[in-house]
Amino acid sequence: MSRTTGHLVVAFACLVLGGCTTSSLTGSAATRPATADSIIAAMSGGLVGGDLGANLGSRDRRRALEAEYRALEYTAAGAPVAWRSEDGRVSGRVIAAQPYRVGSQDCRQYSHAIARGSEERDARGTACRNPNGSWTPLT
Protein backbone atom coordinates (compact mmCIF):
# COMPACT_ATOMS: atom_id res chain seq x y z
CA MET A 1 0.00 0.00 0.00
CA SER A 2 1.37 3.43 -0.93
CA ARG A 3 1.89 6.15 1.64
CA THR A 4 -0.92 8.30 0.15
CA THR A 5 -3.36 5.38 0.14
CA GLY A 6 -2.45 4.64 3.75
CA HIS A 7 -3.22 8.22 4.76
CA LEU A 8 -6.57 8.05 3.00
CA VAL A 9 -7.46 4.80 4.75
CA VAL A 10 -6.60 6.29 8.15
CA ALA A 11 -8.59 9.46 7.42
CA PHE A 12 -11.59 7.46 6.27
CA ALA A 13 -11.45 5.18 9.32
CA CYS A 14 -11.25 8.22 11.56
CA LEU A 15 -14.35 9.72 9.98
CA VAL A 16 -16.29 6.46 10.09
CA LEU A 17 -15.45 5.85 13.73
CA GLY A 18 -16.44 9.40 14.63
CA GLY A 19 -13.17 10.25 16.31
CA CYS A 20 -12.46 13.31 14.17
CA THR A 21 -14.46 16.49 14.46
CA THR A 22 -14.05 19.93 13.10
CA SER A 23 -15.97 23.08 13.82
CA SER A 24 -16.73 26.12 11.77
CA LEU A 25 -18.41 29.31 12.79
CA THR A 26 -20.19 29.53 9.48
CA GLY A 27 -21.84 26.07 9.54
CA SER A 28 -23.88 24.63 6.71
CA ALA A 29 -27.04 26.14 5.31
CA ALA A 30 -29.05 23.49 7.15
CA THR A 31 -27.78 24.74 10.53
CA ARG A 32 -28.28 28.45 9.93
CA PRO A 33 -31.41 30.28 11.04
CA ALA A 34 -33.81 30.63 8.11
CA THR A 35 -34.55 34.35 8.30
CA ALA A 36 -33.31 37.62 9.73
CA ASP A 37 -36.33 37.55 12.05
CA SER A 38 -35.27 34.20 13.52
CA ILE A 39 -31.72 35.49 13.98
CA ILE A 40 -32.96 38.52 15.88
CA ALA A 41 -35.39 36.48 17.97
CA ALA A 42 -32.67 33.99 18.95
CA MET A 43 -30.35 36.80 20.04
CA SER A 44 -32.83 37.81 22.76
CA GLY A 45 -32.13 41.48 22.17
CA GLY A 46 -28.34 41.10 22.20
CA LEU A 47 -26.35 43.82 23.90
CA VAL A 48 -28.66 46.49 22.50
CA GLY A 49 -31.60 44.85 24.28
CA GLY A 50 -30.36 46.37 27.55
CA ASP A 51 -29.46 49.90 28.57
CA LEU A 52 -27.15 50.34 25.60
CA GLY A 53 -30.03 50.35 23.10
CA ALA A 54 -32.70 51.93 25.29
CA ASN A 55 -32.98 55.00 23.02
CA LEU A 56 -32.92 53.15 19.69
CA GLY A 57 -35.94 52.95 17.45
CA SER A 58 -37.03 49.58 16.10
CA ARG A 59 -35.22 49.98 12.75
CA ASP A 60 -31.97 51.03 14.41
CA ARG A 61 -32.28 48.22 16.96
CA ARG A 62 -32.67 45.76 14.08
CA ARG A 63 -29.58 47.15 12.32
CA ALA A 64 -27.63 46.91 15.58
CA LEU A 65 -28.69 43.29 16.19
CA GLU A 66 -27.85 42.32 12.62
CA ALA A 67 -24.38 43.84 13.12
CA GLU A 68 -23.96 41.81 16.31
CA TYR A 69 -24.88 38.64 14.44
CA ARG A 70 -22.51 39.40 11.54
CA ALA A 71 -19.66 40.09 13.97
CA LEU A 72 -20.26 36.85 15.87
CA GLU A 73 -20.88 34.64 12.85
CA TYR A 74 -18.62 35.91 10.09
CA THR A 75 -15.83 38.24 11.16
CA ALA A 76 -12.28 37.62 12.27
CA ALA A 77 -11.37 38.49 15.84
CA GLY A 78 -10.96 42.24 16.26
CA ALA A 79 -12.56 43.18 12.94
CA PRO A 80 -15.27 45.83 13.44
CA VAL A 81 -18.75 45.53 11.96
CA ALA A 82 -20.22 49.01 11.55
CA TRP A 83 -23.83 50.08 11.17
CA ARG A 84 -25.55 53.46 10.77
CA SER A 85 -29.13 54.66 11.15
CA GLU A 86 -31.03 55.78 8.05
CA ASP A 87 -30.76 59.44 9.06
CA GLY A 88 -27.08 59.07 9.98
CA ARG A 89 -27.53 60.42 13.51
CA VAL A 90 -26.74 57.13 15.24
CA SER A 91 -23.99 54.67 14.43
CA GLY A 92 -22.51 51.60 16.00
CA ARG A 93 -19.55 49.26 15.93
CA VAL A 94 -19.46 45.63 17.03
CA ILE A 95 -16.19 43.79 17.63
CA ALA A 96 -16.03 40.08 18.44
CA ALA A 97 -13.05 38.38 20.07
CA GLN A 98 -11.48 35.05 19.12
CA PRO A 99 -13.97 32.16 19.30
CA TYR A 100 -13.48 29.57 22.00
CA ARG A 101 -15.17 26.28 22.80
CA VAL A 102 -17.32 25.51 25.86
CA GLY A 103 -18.39 21.87 25.72
CA SER A 104 -19.83 21.49 22.25
CA GLN A 105 -20.59 25.19 21.69
CA ASP A 106 -18.54 27.92 20.05
CA CYS A 107 -18.62 31.11 22.11
CA ARG A 108 -17.27 34.62 21.59
CA GLN A 109 -16.92 37.67 23.76
CA TYR A 110 -17.90 40.86 21.99
CA SER A 111 -18.40 44.57 22.47
CA HIS A 112 -20.88 46.99 20.95
CA ALA A 113 -20.36 50.77 20.93
CA ILE A 114 -23.14 53.16 19.91
CA ALA A 115 -22.50 56.82 19.09
CA ARG A 116 -25.12 59.55 18.98
CA GLY A 117 -23.56 62.94 18.33
CA SER A 118 -20.60 63.33 20.66
CA GLU A 119 -21.91 60.74 23.14
CA GLU A 120 -20.66 57.15 22.88
CA ARG A 121 -21.82 54.28 25.05
CA ASP A 122 -20.65 50.69 25.00
CA ALA A 123 -21.42 47.29 26.43
CA ARG A 124 -19.61 43.96 26.55
CA GLY A 125 -20.95 40.45 26.60
CA THR A 126 -20.53 36.85 25.55
CA ALA A 127 -22.67 34.79 23.18
CA CYS A 128 -22.62 31.10 22.32
CA ARG A 129 -23.65 29.54 19.01
CA ASN A 130 -26.59 27.13 19.05
CA PRO A 131 -26.77 23.97 16.91
CA ASN A 132 -29.21 25.74 14.53
CA GLY A 133 -26.68 28.53 13.85
CA SER A 134 -28.25 31.21 15.99
CA TRP A 135 -26.36 32.95 18.81
CA THR A 136 -27.60 33.31 22.37
CA PRO A 137 -26.11 35.98 24.62
CA LEU A 138 -25.15 34.80 28.10
CA THR A 139 -26.45 36.86 30.98
Is residue 107 predicted with pLDDT exceeding 70? yes
> At 43, phi and psi to the nearest 5?
-80, -5
pTM confidence score: 0.72
* Residue 112 β-bridge partners: 94, 123
* pLDDT tens per residue across span 14-40: 333 333 233 345 444 444 445 667 766
Biggest alpha carbon–alpha carbon distance for the chain: 70
Q: Which of 86, 29, 38 is nearest to 66 (CA)?
A: 38
Is residue 87 predicted with pLDDT exceeding 90? yes
Q: What is the pLDDT of residue 120?
A: 95
Q: Where are the domains of the chain?
A: 35-138
